[in-house]
Amino acid sequence: MISDTAVLKKLAKIKEIATLSEVIHEVLTALASDESSAQDLAVILSKDQALCAKVLKIANSAFFAQSRRILDIDSAIVLLGFDSIAQLALATSVFNAFGRGRTHARFDIYGFWEHSIATAIGAKDIAETLHRNADRKVAYTAGLLHDIGKLVLLIHFPEEYGPVLHQLDSEGMFLHGAEQSILGFTHCDVGEWLFNRWNYPERLVQAVARHHNTLLPEPEPDFVVGAVRLADLLSNRMHIGASGNTLVPPLEPNECLIIGLDETKLVEVEQKLESAARGITRVLQAMTERR
């Protein structure tokens, strides 16, 4: 948690901090509800024609390999599914809001987005593998946004964040450890602050705030927190994208077992993620094209 009054004041004064559109807040609500229909999603997305156009462009990309061209959102939802289109809309909107902000020579922004999408896919795969279908949507959303605090720091605290990135090279630390050492707080704390500011559901807030916390045995472990943490670690271990760490954090088998992921199921998740990783670059290419 951020306790430094000066930092909190600086965060509070950031008027130009990126926000997600009202349409995307509605998409998030639809993803969180089991009662939302394909028609509901089509109506929501139709409110933002620019977003619709970008989603259709990605839906027609080589990643989805459709035999015929998809011409409208209704057809896209029918052919690719409610979850796929809602998640594409979310990923596209987040990228548009944050993707082209300030960068740093030691921070691979393109790799960051590869890692974020991989973590989202991995968290969803973990939920599906463990038959936690009710959790798969929120797991994907939390995975996609789990490191958003890094972007706030990179864009709005460049002078303070530069030394953090330099320390990674000189002392061989994990990024969140370097943040805590130099800043007194981490990107997890900033993400928690931002999600509370956006009034996001508590399950998302907790996943963003706690994804670097070691999973401990407890009567009712938070599954989404666990899924995002393990997907983050898997993405790092499999070198999909770049989280900002120069070291690969260890993946402890005991942590996997806490949420029910035994060795056989872990291999299944890794295989799914490895297969999906081949298409992440193509999705990002479609997102970054301006025309």
Q: Is residue 97 part of a domain?
A: no
Q: Is residue 140 part of a domain?
A: yes
Q: Is residue 245 part of a domain?
A: yes
Q: How is residue 147 annotated by DSSP?
A: T
The three-state (H, E, C) secondary structure of 76-136, written as one string: HHHHHCHHHHHHHHHHHHHHHHHCCCCCECCECHHHHHHHHHHHHHHHHHHHHHCCCHHHH
pLDDT of residue 94: 81
Q: Is residue 181 part of a domain?
A: yes
Q: Is residue 69 part of a domain?
A: no
Element (H, E) at 65: none
Supply the range of the domain harboring residue 169: 5-19+102-288
pTM: 0.85
Number of domains in the chain: 1
Domain of 281, CATH number, reads 1.10.3210.10
CA dihedral 21, 26, 29, 31 (to 10 degrees): -90
Q: Is residue 164 part of a domain?
A: yes
Structure tokens at 272: 């799914």
Q: What is the pLDDT along the chain (291 residues), one digit of tens a residue?
A: 565 666 667 677 665 565 667 888 888 888 777 788 889 999 999 998 888 988 888 888 766 777 788 989 999 998 888 888 888 888 888 877 776 555 677 788 888 989 999 999 999 999 999 999 888 888 998 999 999 999 888 888 888 888 888 887 666 788 998 999 888 889 999 999 888 888 888 999 999 999 999 988 888 889 999 999 999 999 999 999 888 887 888 888 889 999 999 999 999 999 999 988 878 887 777 776 654
pLDDT of residue 291: 47
Q: Is residue 254 part of a domain?
A: yes
Structure tokens at 105: 């020579």
Q: Is residue 10 part of a domain?
A: yes
